[in-house]
Amino acid sequence: MKPEVKKHGAMKRVWMVALTSLVVLAGCHSFKKENVQPPTPLAKDFKPTVQVTKLWTSSVGDGAGDSGVRLRPAFADGVLYACSTDGKIAAFDAASGKTLWSKSSRTQGWFGWGDKKRADALYAGGPAAAGDLVVVGTLDGHIYGINAKDGSPRWESVVNSEVISAPVISGNLVVARTQDGRLYGFDSSNGERRWVYDQDTVPLLSLRGNGPLMVANGVVFYGSDAGKLVALRLDNGEKLWEQSLASGEGRTEIERLSDADGSILLQGNTLYSAAYHGNLAAVDGPSGRPLWSRPFSTFTSLDVNNNAIYGVNDDSQVWAFDKNGGADMWKNDSLKYRWLTGPAVQGDYVVVGDLEGYVHWLQTGDGALAGRERLSKKAIRAQPLVVGDTVYVEDVKGRIGAYRLGAR
């Protein structure tokens, strides 16, 4: 399995695949042919130490399909929202999995406009949900505002490129990011554009994917394709500061890849973020001043609890670091080359999905494998979503599973 790499230029969707140790999280067929390490076999004598209960499963359309995006459900007020690149969006009761509403949009634009021969609403960015609003972006450069109660359309905005990461809803603004490096602020009531921020430079070559945006204290934080952690004012998109997470150095374009495609974490005033071919870093949120940094290459999201930061490196080894200084706490390599999702903390466990549809639970204290379930036979690319005592996992074909842990 290899990484999918995007090449910027006149063509929005000209992608090249790197025949190196980089990894994609979908579409793997022959490891020998592609000269990539095969996934570590799962131990057949594994004995779980935690009870995993599957609460329900459901599905939405064809999921992410072959798009390479990491579609992840969104939760708000007891409802789970999910979408697919073939134009399906649905709301589920988060406790039971019952479908509350489902909409399908394929031709003539979502509001009945456009070329009848062209499919629209190729949902790939999101969804995001807050209050009575759901927002989702598409592969063909649209942002849609949707009524959370019944899925009816509220507004539409057009942008210049693909939207493949979830927008953020914050008060009266929606912030969205596009593949060409721009961030947009929209009025959440009608979709009117309020501001746009254009990065100074976007690398010629970068991994396919954008990390999720984070909004806190009137600031938008995001990781760039050039390996930088950037802070913008929420009200007008003005850049406040940026901090490098990777040097972008190397002999080849592949070696110089330095995307910061994972989530940004915030505890107190401290931000935590990481980059491919770069570092895991702690940064003071108000000033952008670096607090500590250590080498750690990843293209997935991190998670954190009271004591530790958890990450999956580019060989799919799961790590835990002391959040106060970045020192190693433990490493688990029993899932190496299984091209894991970013980790999510569920109580005393870290949960990840893999390329064969398995979901794994590791103890937060020492990294020991504690539980395993199989959602499907399809790859899981998106970081699991933990809400309370339940974790929601989605595979690339749109199958969603809800799991809860109990004493064994």
Q: What is the mean pLDDT of residues 23-50?
A: 68
pTM, 2 dp: 0.88
Helix (H) or strand (E) holding 193: strand 193-198
Q: pLDDT band for 248, please (50, 70, 90 cuts).
A: low
Mean pLDDT of the chain: 86
Tokens of 75: 């939760």
Cα angle 108, 111, 114 (rounded to 5 degrees) comes to 30
- What is the Cα–Cα distance from 375 to 395, expressed in whole angstroms? 8
Helix segments in 114-160, DSSP class H = none
Residues 6+ apart with CB under 8 A from 45: none
Amino acid in position 393? V
Has residue 135 got a pLDDT over 90?
A: yes
Domains of the chain are 69-204 (2.40.128.630)
Q: What's the pLDDT at 334?
A: 97
Q: What's the pLDDT at 18?
A: 32
HSE-CB of 124 using CA atoms within 13 angstroms:
24
Has residue 256 got a pLDDT over 60?
A: no
- What is the Cα–Cα distance from 142 to 87, expressed in whole angstroms? 12
Q: What's the pLDDT at 30?
A: 38
Has residue 131 got a pLDDT over 70?
A: yes
Q: What's the pLDDT at 9?
A: 38
Instruction: Render the burial of 39-68: b for 16+ CB within 10 Å, e for the rest.
Output: beebeeeeeeebebeeebebbbbbbbbebb
Q: What's the pLDDT at 25?
A: 35
Tokens of 63: 């999921």
Has residue 205 got a pLDDT over 80?
A: no
Q: What's the pLDDT at 275?
A: 84
pLDDT, tens only, 296-355: 999 899 999 999 999 999 999 999 999 999 999 999 999 999 999 999 999 999 999 999
Has residue 13 got a pLDDT over 60?
A: no
The tokens 């007008």 sit on which residue?
236
State how far the alpha carbon of 25 is from the alpha carbons of 3, 15, 59, 69, 202, in Å. Answer: 7, 15, 20, 9, 23
Q: What's the pLDDT at 66?
A: 86
Has residue 110 got a pLDDT over 60?
A: no
Has residue 137 got a pLDDT over 60?
A: yes
Q: What is the mean pLDDT of residues 216-228?
A: 88
- What is the Cα–Cα distance from 206 to 193, expressed in whole angstroms? 27
Of the candidates 65, 83, 78, 18, the one whose C-alpha atom is nearest the C-alpha of residue 256 is: 18
